[in-house]
Structure 1
Amino acid sequence: MTAALWPLQQAVYAKLTGHAPLIALVSGVYDEVPEDAAHPYVTLGSITEDVDDAHNQRGLEASVVLHVWSKYRGFKEAATILAALDTALDRQPLPVAGFKDVSVAHQQHTEVRDPDPDIRHINVSYRVWLTKS
């Protein structure tokens, strides 16, 4: 089975950076955060994959983790950004090179108080099902 790691990361990044409501809320969407990045922003986290074949079709079930980072006092700003992430990804089409029948669903999220008391952080994971083309 060919992994979807890189094509899936590319697809998620393209979807998020092309989603105007999200981009209006954040300074950027990053794989590697620049030193001078302003808050709030979103980072791409880990992707895990499990084989999910069906009869004669090769498939994967993946989990994509994203992180929302904010310096707003409280979680209101981060929660607003999370809602924009959902608008972009949850149950929305996601073209992934080399795969078909791609579906995405919000799996879970967690609010985290960072050791730095000025930073708020939300981890969010999306479940993605893909069938090899």
Structure 2
Amino acid sequence: MIDYGTAVQQAFYTALTPFVSCPVEDGPGQGDGLDPEEDFPLCVIGESTAAYMDTDSRLGAEVTMTLHFWSRAAGMKEARGHMSEAYRALHREDPTHAKYKLLSPHLEAESVDTDPDGETRHGVQTYRVMVWWDSFGSRLGLWSDVDVWDDNETWDEGA
């Protein structure tokens, strides 16, 4: 089994850290001593799912990755601002990873709510991204940067 979720998490962390104006934690408890219960504002790269889509010539998956944003500023503006920064860094961009090809993450859903403590704002974003294991296709000479299925392509049985 290939751990596509970890690859997306690493690529998202690299893409987010220069653009989001609050600390980004690479999973709960993995940051620079940050405590999501005390350090605000904060972005945490959280849960993921992977639907494997292996073929005879490619190994890949469709991955969803959840980002959490916490703020204790009054109102929702700060949390939404950090979410907007993450959107600009990720949506329809191509985050890089040394061993995997990530294709155009799309923001699938987002929400901002007040946590039960009444003072913490909690924003959540979920992104969907296609991931291909680059070394498999490259090793076999099966694909390059332009050999990715285009939604506008049609199948030509005579080819």
Q: Between Structure 1 and Structure 2, whose CA radius of gyration is higher? A: 2
Q: Normalization by structure 2: what TM-score?
A: 0.73
Structure 1 residues 71, 91: closer, same or farther in 2, change over 3 A? same
Q: Is the 8 A contact 1:59 1:131 kept in 2?
A: yes
Structure 2 runs not aligned, ≥5 long: 135-159
For 2:24, the equivalent position in structure 1 comes to: 29
SS at match of 1:86: helix
Structure 1 gaps of 5+ residues are none
RMSD of aligned C-alpha atoms? 1.9
Q: For residue 132 of structure 1, what is the aligned residue in structure 2?
A: 133
Look up the SS of the partner of 2:3 in the other structure.
coil
Q: Which moved more, 1:61-70 or 1:95-104?
A: 95-104
What corresponds to 1:2 in structure 2? 2
Q: How far off is 1:77 after superposition?
A: 1.2
Q: Does 1:88 align with 2:83?
A: no
Q: Name the SS of the counterpart of 2:88 in structure 1.
A: helix
Pairs aligned (count): 128
Q: Which residue in 1 is equivalent to 2:104?
A: 103
Structure 1 distance, partners of 2:53, 2:113, is 31
- Aligned to 1:115, the other structure's residue is in SS state coil
More strand by share: 1
Spell out structure 1 runs of 4+ moving beyond 6 A: none
Q: Which deviates further from its counterpart, 57-66 or 94-103?
A: 94-103
